[in-house]
Amino acid sequence: MLFNSSQFLLQFLPLTFAGFLLLHAMRLQRLVPLWLTAASLLFYCWWRPANLPLLMGSMVFNYVLAGRLMQSRSKALLAAGVVANLLLLGVFKYTGFVAENLAWVTGAGWNIPHVILPLAISFFTFQQIAYLVDAHGGRISERNPINYCLFITFFPHLIAGPITHHGEMLSQFSDQSRFRPRWDFVGVGLTLFLIGLFKKVVVADPFGVTASPVFAAAAHGGGVRFVEAWTGALSYALQLYFDFSGYSDMAIGLGLLFGIALPLNFDSPYKARNIIDFWSRWHMTLTRFLTAYVYNPIVVSLTRRRAERRLPLPRRGRMSPGTFVALVAIPTVLTMLISGIWHGAGWQFVIFGLLHGLYLTVAHAWRTWRAHRGAPVRSDAPLVVVGSVLLTFLCVVVAQVFFRAENVAAALDMLRGMAGLNGITLPQPFGASDTVRALAGRLGIGIAPLPLFEESQAIRIVLFLAVVWTFPNAYQWLRGVPTALDARPRASWVERFTGQATWQPSVALGLAVGCLSFLSLMLAVSKAPTEFLYFRF
């Protein structure tokens, strides 16, 4: 079931919220976790009921195993539990990929059956691995089975995140005062949900319509040309931005309807000045998970080995190139490689992860070098800020080409087109000027109709890039009211220049938000819903 579907908007959500209100009116708040768990399981199995036993079996296995780990603290048992979870993920997500590559290497003519990927398997697998690790480490005390089921299945975050941590969720589920209608939460929750719905159906989906034909042409070896390649790449960058941002807003808004605060997962990442800053803003809960459960353990293990071998360890403010490679570059690349593979089964996702690992390594090396010279980590000079944001955005767009392409060959064709190696042809309207036509002829640039490009697409790209880079995000706009868990929105330029938060209640603003919300709802219920992009991961 999709948040932007008529079944969800007109049936599931109203009935689930009505049940929540009824239990409160009957003073049965203790049954709210059970009600929300049942609703979440229905939400999950709506698309494919056959996947429900898989989810239930995974939860039972990990809950029981966590109890054993709390008693025995066995490393072997923990390792077995982590491997079992990864095997489950691997069987469904990577069997086809591994078999195809083995068949290619060996020349075997295997008939590889198509495996339907269960929804949310990547997300609930990561959450439960974290739960097992923390159970082994003695960091779990709350063991209510219903609360655990709700922690894994809570429908606002189940399908595409945020990846929640047991410590921040189970404490809320154990607090009966949470499960009562708070109309300030409801008001803000509905506002966030409708903002997210607007981003999805009004902004993201049309960009997807523009991007898809370009990537399809690249997949068929069409030699996508310069203007079309950049139109496709930038359209996909904006589609992914507003699609994922919209889902994150909707998830947090839905949580607030039921008194539950979910962690922030998206914080204007295209405003990032470097790739380190980007990953602190993009899929923030995935970054948090990878840092805590992948990167840090790798660094600790490598540091311990170096200490045992009596190799030099990093000193405050100083790090030799060898130490930097061993304790920063290797863990960073390995972590981002895992991130890339987690996102999808394909060599294009491996390259996506390795690219970001390379980006992060270069960024950390730059910071280390500047620290050695006693230079400030970053400059706030306007030209430096603009240049840094644009360079970071360019790197992200290049990596996203692999993220979106059907395979590596299609991604490389797109990149060749973006570099002008497939030819540069300007769209027909440029030919109206004799000067432009003459200059294009001298430079060897053609002017002809481009079947995958329209002027309106370019205008929309420029308009929404301006929105992305200049407008405050929803959490900056709603500063001062409860939104995401422990949200601390950065000050927007509006706030810095005016000295006050962006959001101010008014009749005009209420009418504007109401009209945009009505438009979003009508579009959502009047057409077949499109999946959120992160549903496929």
Task: Please give the C-alpha separations between residue 192 and each of 8, 175, 195, 321, 477, in angstroms, as whole numbers.
Answer: 16, 24, 5, 46, 11
Question: Phi/psi class of residue 313: alpha, beta or left (left: φ > 0; alpha: ψ in -120 to 50)?
Answer: beta
221 contact partners, CB below 8 Å, separation of at least 6: 409, 413
Beta-bridge partner residues of 318:
315
Tokens representing 44 are: 């999950």
Please name the residue that has the structure tokens 């919300």: 517
Look up tokens 């394909």; give the residue.
Answer: 346
DSSP 8-class letter at 485: B
Residue 386 falls in which region: left (phi positive, over 0), alpha (psi -120 to 50) or beta: alpha
Q: What is d(CA 213, CA 445) in angstroms, rounded to the nearest whole number?
A: 23
- Rounded Cα distance between 8 and 254, Å, is 12
Measuring CA to CA, how many Å separate 132 from each of 63, 91, 124? 8, 20, 12
* Catalytic positions, written as ranges: 343
- Rounded-to-10 torsion of CA 342, 345, 346, 349: -20
Residue 201's Cβ-side half-sphere holds a number of Cα atoms within 13 Å equal to 25
